Amino acid sequence: MHTASAKPASTTRPASNSGDFRIGNDLRVYRLGFGAMRVTGKGIWGEPRDRQESIRVLQRAVELGVNFIDTADSYGPHVSEELIAQALHPYPSDLVIATKGGFDRPGPDKWVENGRPEHLRKACEGSLRRLRLDRIDLYQLHRIDSKVPAEDQLGTLRDLQAQGKIKHIGLSEVSVKQIQHAQKIVPVVTVQNRYSLADRGSEDVLKFCERAGVGFIPWFPLAAGKLSGSASSIAKAASQLKITPSQLALAWLLLRSPVMLPIPGTSRVAHLEENIAAAALKIPEVTVRELGSAS
């Protein structure tokens, strides 16, 4: 039976074992980050069930070396950003906080695109205030709203960048064609698309990002537990390696591409520590190939 072995590892800041990437060629982050959507309530709405545990998760993430946290004004709404500031402000000098704008939230599990310039400006101002920042390192358009000309949405972000309110611009859930169009208006340094071992529909976007040196942030990297069904090839391989399916899925993502920036989220410290441990795992090449070729 094979077992997964650890790379020569940092024990004090284990997230550093994931290697690093420079967002926009100047923001150096460790590739295994943290997605702060799940520190909110059910349906990504309202307060978390255990606010103190959510704060401990955020603080523990930084203790473990995570220096890239992804959030959005729509998570809660507003709750995730407020928790990040409460838990971590004043921020460590190397911490990069990315947030997003472009959704209205009428209720739990309800997401309505809103790319109107006035909404995006207001959303950015709100994020700056809640996060207690003078400038947001990475501001992402949560969706390109089909009801609003893309030029108006991207032009608004360009204006916010010129005003010094945001440093870098990213996109979310976009096609290669949309990225190429956006690049004519603003520099695009990251793309956040749904991607995991179980869902590789954005393979063409990932390859484009590799060629362009653009960071690729896979959201839903663990498919919210769907990867861990006992009959799945991932679960079987993880069992042979004596690790969890989540750890194997994260380790595979980190091996998949040097521009890959996974942001697994959780509301529990124990689960966070399990995820971050994946950064130090060395997976046998045969396992990587077999998982990569599985449909």
Residue in 126, 136, 209 with CA at minimum distance from that of residue 172:
209
First-to-last alpha carbon distance for the chain, in angstroms, is: 24
Dmax (CA) of the chain: 58
Report how far residue 76's alpha carbon sits from residue 74's, in angstroms, rounded to the nearest whole number.
6
Which residue of the set 30, 75, 139, 195 is catalytic?
A: 75
Cβ contact 250:32 at 8 Å: yes
DSSP 8-state class, residue 14:
G
Locate all alpha helices (DSSP H) within the chain, ordered by sequence.
51-63, 79-88, 117-131, 150-162, 176-183, 203-212, 233-241, 245-256, 269-277, 285-293
3-state secondary structure 153-196: HHHHHHHHHHCCCEEEEEEECCCHHHHHHHHCCCCCCEEEEECE
Cβ contact 265:37 at 8 Å: yes
- Concerning whether 75 is annotated as a catalytic residue, the answer is yes
Catalytic residue set: 75
